[in-house]
Amino acid sequence: MSDTATMKSIAALVPPGSRVLDLGCGDGALLDLLQRERGCTGYGIEIADANVLACVKRGVNVIQLNLEEGLAMFDDNSFDVVLQIDTLQHLRNAETMLRETARVGRRGIVAFPNFAHWPNRLAVLRGRMPVTRRLPYQWYDTPNIRVGTFKDFEVLAGKNALDIIDAFGLQDGREVRWLPNLRAATAVFRFERD
């Protein structure tokens, strides 16, 4: 998530002063923003060496960990907010990590590429997998091991007893609340355990 407007939209969902865990935090840009502008504290979880180093250079607390191994090192409700921003689609254990997000955090925020966005639908109608700014890879070299839609996540949340307290799409840094499954490249959900 490199778009500054998108990052600010996600950051606005995090209450000021929150203790945050950012799963798959990348270079730590979002956690850095939350620390500077929202007075948050917390940790990022990242596996890639270069990103861990970038986090350290930013002054972001980071733990190098493969998320496929889970979050057993954290107790229940250890954090006010757990973020999974552009992480869920890369995980083999996506449902397990969603439950872990709800376990270790009082609230969870998830954002992922919305495969049902209209340009993606059009590409599939033409017989091709979509290649867009939000999904910039060819089908054979994508780091995404799964694709999902806004509606798919609603079903998954219900199956896992998660109460969605806010949901919208993001398109070009703007919130999309009317027909987000069709009109937004990114799906965003804020949830709690039922």
Domain ranges across the chain: 4-113+154-173+188-193
In the predicted model, what is the mean pLDDT of residues 85-108?
92
Q: Which tokens in the block code for residue 150?
A: 């806004």
Query: What integer is the mean pLDDT of 180-193?
Result: 95
19-73 per-position pLDDT tens digit: 999 999 999 999 999 999 999 999 999 999 999 999 999 999 999 999 988 899 9
Q: Give the pLDDT confidence of 79-95 residue by residue, as tens digits.
A: 999 999 999 888 888 89
Q: What is the mean predicted confidence (pLDDT) over 103-121? A: 94
Q: How confident is residue 8, by pLDDT bands cut at 50, 70 and 90?
A: very high
Name the band, by pLDDT with cuts 50, 70 and 90, for residue 136: confident
What was the pLDDT predicted at 93?
87
Q: What percentage of the chain exceeds 90 in pLDDT?
A: 75
Cα–Cα distance for residue pair 51/25, rounded to 1 Å: 8
pLDDT reading at 145 higher than 80 = no
CB distance 180 to 126 below 8 Å: no
Q: Provide the Cα torsion 54, 146, 10, 8; round to 10°.
A: 60
Q: Residue 121 — φ and ψ, nearest 5°? A: -60, -40
CA distance 26 to 1: 9
What is the 8-class DSSP label of residue 15?
P
Report pLDDT for 117. 92
Per-residue confidence band for 128, with pLDDT thresholds at 50, 70 and 90: confident
Task: Pick the more confident residue, 145 or 124.
Answer: 124
pLDDT band at 2 (very low <50, low <70, confident <90, very high): low
* Average of per-residue pLDDT across 108-136: 89
Instruction: Report the CATH number of the 4-113+154-173+188-193 domain.
Output: 3.40.50.150
Average pLDDT of the chain is 92
Q: Which amino acid is at 133?
A: R
Q: How far apart (Å, rounded) are the C-alpha atoms in residues 29 and 11?
A: 11
pLDDT reported for residue 175: 94
What is the DSSP secondary structure assignment for residue 160, as one 8-state letter?
T
